[in-house]
Each structure stands twice: as structure tokens, then as C-alpha cells.
Amino acid sequence: MAELTGDGVKYYESMELSWEATVGGNNNIELGNSDNEMYVSLEKPTFAPVVSEVHIAVLYATTANSESQVIEMLMCYFGAREVKRKGDPLSLQYYGNRPGATGKLGLIARGNADCTAWAALFVGVLGCHGISAKQVRLRSTAVIARNDKGEPSTWEIMQIKKYGLDGYPAANAPYPYELTRIGKLPGQGNTEPRVDTFSNHAIVEIDENLFFDPSYGIPYRTNRAGIINNQFIEKSVSAFGRGTRSYPGGPIWQDVVHPARYPRNDGTEIEFIN
């Protein structure tokens, strides 16, 4: 039987607990003992987590004794793209072949969800250790439609790698470019996510100089300026455009398409929504 000793993150497969109760003013009524799993987090959680959040947060940050160690160990675990809920041998999926769900609890319950759910899960596992982080969203800066008040209502969509633009033509080449499918950027539990064009994308801001994209397991060790100026595009985006249509071999861009490697001359192509 294990004994609870020392500091830092720990997981005990079996811990003997003694139970007592107070009833009607009678103190310390012994109720017996039980053997339980024990999860020891770095600090008090920032919210009331569910079991699988605690399981992931503690099991894959065991031995960590600082916030930075917890963060690095959990980014490493999510970076392998084989995140598993408690008691399930199968990995949770990002736009996989299981029935899809929304939200963090939907992801845990059904095993497959979108970037919003994955960002919420990573914020949650950090929160199990008392570490504050927040979900943020990125989108293109190019407005392609406005409402009747003249306010922006639709932005260009982003094409996630790995679609190529034949030879990545010179910056002054005429539009549109034709995209060639060369595979997809692997996602959680899924080497070829079903969806790879987005109007916006959720990632996690851990601090002002560290961001993490749990959907693809990609860290960004930079500030917001670094994200929008080059890193997000360099690691994750092939192109921007106005829409896609499907054909038997896969999606193809229609209307204006331009490669992310060659930004337009009207400023930065990515912005934070929040």
C-alpha cells in the first residue's frame, strides 16, 4: 500500500483511506477503510474537473514540481497526438471517424470533437494543477462580406496544411492558384482530419510568450505578434481563400486563392479575435 509522501505531482494506483464521520455531535465515528486511486495535483484546481481531466493532468505530469514542468510535460503528451480518456485504449480524436461532439465534456464523452473542445480540454488539464490559461481564436484579416450596417460579417477561410500550391509560385503570380493535395497535417488521434478549412481556429494562450494548439499538438514559443506575423502560418496554414467545393477526389478551392507563404500587400494575414 502506497504512502503519500513529498511534494509535486503524483499518481498512486492504490492508496488506503480511513473514513470517519460526525453525526449528531458525535465526532470521529469510524467508517472503515478503502483502497482508492490517488491523484495529487501541483496546486488546487481552478474549477471542478471530471475524472478523465484529472487522470490526464496527473498521470502525464507525474514527478513535476513546478508550473513550467507541468506545462512542458502536458504539451509533450498532447504533442504525441495520442490523448486517452481514463479507461479507454483508443485515442481521443480531432475531426475523426467517431460520431462528433461539441465542447470539452462532449469530447470526453464521445471521443471526437473540434478545435474549441480540444482547446477547452487543454485549458482544463492545466487548470487541474491550478494553472490559468485561456482559449483564444485566430482568423484571417481579409473581410469578404459585410452586413447591411457595413460591418464585417465574413472573412476568408484558412486552408490547413498539407495542401500545396504547385511550386509555391512567385509573389506576383496571377490568382487563382491551384491547390494540390499532398496529405494532411496530422491531428489528435487521426492522421487525416476530415475537416481542414476553417473560418477561425482555437488555440490556447498559456502566457504572453507561450501558446499551444492542442488539436494538432503544436507549441508556439512566441508572443501574439510572432503568432500573427509568421509562426501560425509557417506551421499550420497553406493558403487563404473564399470558399471550397467538393469533387470525388477531395475539396478544391474556388474564387480567389492565395498562398500563405506570400502574404498580400495589405498587412498581416492573421489576427486574434479575442
End-to-end CA distance of the chain: 48
Q: Using one digit for the tens of pLDDT, what is the confidence trace for 234-256?
A: 888 877 776 554 444 444 444 44
pLDDT band at 105 (very low <50, low <70, confident <90, very high): very high
Run of H or E residues at 158:
strand 157-160
**What is the per-residue pLDDT for 3?**
58
Mean pLDDT, residues 224-242: 81
Tens of pLDDT along 13-31? 988 888 888 877 777 788 8
The Cα 5–Cα 188 span in angstroms is 35
Nearest CA to 105 out of 95, 116, 91, 90 is that of 116
What is the rounded distance in angstroms from the CA atom of residue 135 to the CA atom of residue 205?
6
Q: What is the pLDDT of residues 135-180, one digit of tens each?
A: 999 988 877 778 788 787 777 777 777 655 444 444 444 455 555 5
Can you say whether the dihedral through the CA atoms of 187, 189, 190, 195 is positive or negative?
negative
Q: pTM of the prediction? A: 0.84
Grid cell, residue 80, equals: 504525441
How far is the C-alpha of 262 from the C-alpha of 170, rounded, in Å? 8
Which residue shows C-alpha cell 500550391?
165
Q: What is the pLDDT of residues 53-86, one digit of tens each?
A: 999 999 999 999 999 999 999 999 999 999 999 9
Confidence at residue 152, expressed as pLDDT on a 0 to 100 scale: 77
